[in-house]
Structure 1
């Protein structure tokens, strides 16, 4: 399950309604982006998260990425080089008898710039820097075993708009991965910027 909850606080009716809807689907693993560290406390299980860079004022409990699993996490890493531009957390968990590495990501949106930085970053700069650092990590993890990369990619796939250079960096970073959420999604009838690879 992959969902951006748009910074809704856990006690808000929007967040409570969404978490209830997610729970009814009985997922093995959940990735929430723009969440709070308490967002999935009611689900039991095990959560890991990363704070990420602040692009605007935010509460200390907000998290760019939150990964939840029914089973415990191992080899948990907050990816510091990606925290400087966006956010990423990774860990190993079991689904059935199979151990899988999940990588929860929040790729910067096109106007992203660290809060308080002057002058602000140029459009797409943070997005592209993130992808340059993500590529070797995804290659490394893919060579180590099964990997699922889930979260807010902030791009429609296949290409829809924005600099082709940026999209080519995304394609390069995900080389060797199959993007399950590419194209028009059934039931939604449009492309998404949140993906599973």
Structure 2
């Protein structure tokens, strides 16, 4: 019998549990029934009960005093999360985290991300950036974090990459930089998928045996400006 690991990710567009939209989003996150869940632009009251949660921090350069529970990047796990590392400053702050956990496949490392979009801090936030500069700086932070990864521990990279894969309209240099940083891992969510092309992705050095996406709109209306995705992963020697 093949041992499997279910990983899901979704940018939920700042939904919160007190709203009708948030309650619908929460139901979907629960029904996904993932072992690992990476949620971006959300808050903890949307995550399933009974798991373990870490986040990348509360400071990504935007004022959240009116909504202090908001987080750019959160990781939910069925099992406890250890060795948690975040980026203390710069474009990766509040957006990037690394943690280890036990899974049906054994110990894995999770790199959870919400890489800045093209215009981050250009006309909003700090207003001190140029187009794609925050995205590229965050890629630099990810490269530094991953340089010391022990290759014997499987790695899952998931979250909002803010790039379509393969390239659609983003500058070639930006696209190539992301591919360079993530070169060790296979992007399971790239290409022609239902409700795609995606910018929320899952990549790993495991094998994906099943992929499912869901729309950002349900029968009632809009849930998010992103589609969600879940992957079933197995070890490559399975």
- Does 1:11 pair with 2:48? no
Q: Which whole-Å CA distance do the structure 1 matches of 2:93 and 2:164 have between them? A: 20
Give the helix-richer structure, 1 or 2: 1
* Residue 38, structure 1, aligned to residue 38, structure 2: no
What's the TM-score once normalised by structure 1's chain length?
0.89
Measured in 2, the distance between the counterparts of 1:170 and 1:116 equals: 23
Aligned match for 1:107, one of 111, 115, 119: 115
Gaps of 5+ in 1: none
- Flag structure 2 segments of 5+ consecutive residues without an equivalent: 1-7, 204-238
Q: 1:75 aligns with which of 79, 83, 95?
A: 83
Q: Deviations over 1:76-117 (max 9, x none)?
A: 122224655661122111112501011110100000018653
Could you tell me the TM-score, scaled by structure 2's length?
0.74
Q: CA deviation at 1:127?
A: 0.6
In 2: Cα distance, 1:142 partner to 1:193 partner: 27
> Which whole-Å CA distance do the structure 1 matches of 2:186 and 2:60 have between them?
28
Residue matched to 1:117: 126
Q: Kindly tell me: are residues 52 and 172 of structure 1, through their superposed partners in 2, closer, same or farther at Cα, counting changes over 3 Å?
A: farther
Q: Tell me the matched-pair count.
A: 193
Higher relative contact order (CA 8 A, sep 6+): 2
* Structure 1 residue aligned with 2:54: 48
The 3-state SS of whatever aligns with 2:146 is helix
Distance 1:113 1:66 in 2: 21
Query: Structure 1's 35 and 142: CA in aligned 2 closer, same or farther, altered over 3 A?
Result: farther
Provide the C-alpha distance between the structure 2 equivalents of 1:52 and 1:141, rounded to a whole number of angstroms.
25
Q: What SS does the corresponding residue of 1:143 show, helix, strand or coil?
A: coil
